[in-house]
A = this chain, B = another copy of it.
């Protein structure tokens, strides 16, 4: 059994991670920390976990966490970088669900997150945890930077096109829609029910932190300089990301459906739908699947890829468990092999 600890399990990513780990047959959940809730039973805060998680939140403590085989950080950005070095020295492996180790360049971190990085020497050691690109490196990693939710949906949608050089890399558009749980569980007027229900809006058009992450990922995977316009939107639903991706074909004669199917034929968590499909976010609710479809409207030169994930699963906690499975040599689907909840 893998002894797992979770730092900061009071947000939506945290409770989702606890849900998944509590039914994982190869994991023993040994510690959940939270400064704010220390001493409180986890199932008191999250009634849904009554009967499944018997732990009590504890103060974060590096020595105790260092006893774990793996430590997940479900914390705000900027927390994992203050503890990771210590935990790695104690031979715990670390999976950070926040952004601390996603950007490989220290200067990028400073620019987009506004503070100095606390352990820049780990930035190159960290492996970007997108299994569909980095599976082998993840298997050998001690520190995994779990991708952001938008970056997961967008990269999985663009990769087949860019890897094959089928579209102009310098002119990509990602129009993305997210459920409200992506805004976190903090007290925040903008995420109140009465503010976001029965409404729809874009946000962060001038620049969102996931932009450099996506650009870096696409460039790393394809070796091309990538120009990307990324517009996120807030949708009145709890979970789900829908990415609508636009790019322009370099040449005209190409079997898009075949290329997508081939690219992902061995991937357990990427499902290419039949030609003509429109994936719905509910088809992946609570599941680690990414479902994709590829279109070429009116046989013109614009390719439209539709990509959906559950932002809390494949976009966060589920992908973290997938990465753990890879790191510990387990079957990659262990604990993740259930259908979405629908309706």
In the bound complex, CA of A287 to CA of B47 (Å): 12
Contact B278 A238 (CB under 8 A): no
Contact B304 A229 (CB under 8 A): yes
Decide yes or no: A201 and B281 within 8 Å by CB, A12-B343, A185-B189, A342-B15 being known contacts: yes
Contact B198 A297 (CB under 8 A): no
Count of chain A residues with Cβ under 8 Å from any Cβ of B?
87
What per-residue 1/0 map shows which CB atoms of A194-227 lie under 8 Å from chain B?
1111111111011100000000000000000001
CB distance from A214 to the nearest CB of B (A): 13
CB distance from A278 to the nearest CB of B (A): 5
What per-residue 1/0 map shows which CB atoms of A297-316 lie under 8 Å from chain B?
11010101010100000000
Give the contacting residue for A47; candidates B53, B180, B291; CB below 8 A: B291
Contact A238 B302 (CB under 8 A): no
Contact A246 B173 (CB under 8 A): yes
Q: At the interface with chain B, which of A66-74, A320-328, A333-341?
A: A333-341
Give the contacting residue for A198; candidates B15, B186, B233, B282; CB below 8 A: B282
Q: Does A58 contact B (CB under 8 A)?
A: no
CB distance from A122 to the nearest CB of B (A): 28
Contact A199 B47 (CB under 8 A): no
Q: Does A279 contact B (CB under 8 A)?
A: yes
CB distance from A52 to the nearest CB of B (A): 5
CB distance from A265 to the nearest CB of B (A): 13
Contact A244 B236 (CB under 8 A): no
Give the contacting residue for A180; candidates B48, B53, B194, B342; CB below 8 A: B194
Q: Does A28 contact B (CB under 8 A)?
A: no
Give the contacting residue for A22; candidates B239, B287, B339; CB below 8 A: B339
Q: Does A112 contact B (CB under 8 A)?
A: no
Contact A47 B280 (CB under 8 A): yes
| A169-207 residues at the B interface, CB under 8 angstroms | 171, 173, 175, 177, 179-181, 183, 185-189, 191-203, 205-207
Contact A342 B304 (CB under 8 A): no
Contact A297 B229 (CB under 8 A): yes
Q: Which residue of B lies closest to A291 (CB)?
A: B47
Contact A227 B300 (CB under 8 A): yes
In the bound complex, CA of A259 to CA of B297 (Å): 31
Contact A189 B187 (CB under 8 A): yes
CB distance from A49 to the nearest CB of B (A): 6
Subset of 21 A-B contacts with CB under 8 Å: A22-B339, A48-B282, A48-B341, A48-B342, A181-B194, A183-B194, A185-B192, A191-B193, A192-B192, A193-B193, A198-B238, A198-B240, A200-B240, A203-B278, A207-B298, A227-B300, A229-B297, A229-B302, A231-B244, A231-B304, A235-B236
A residues neighboring B (CB under 8 Å): 12, 15, 19, 22-23, 46-53, 171, 173, 175, 177, 179-181, 183, 185-189, 191-203, 205-207, 227, 229-231, 233, 235-240, 242, 244, 246, 248, 271, 273, 276, 278-287, 289, 291, 295, 297-298, 300, 302, 304, 306, 308, 337-343
Known: A193-B195, A206-B276. 7 other contacts (CB 8 A): A23-B337, A48-B285, A51-B271, A177-B233, A192-B193, A200-B242, A235-B235
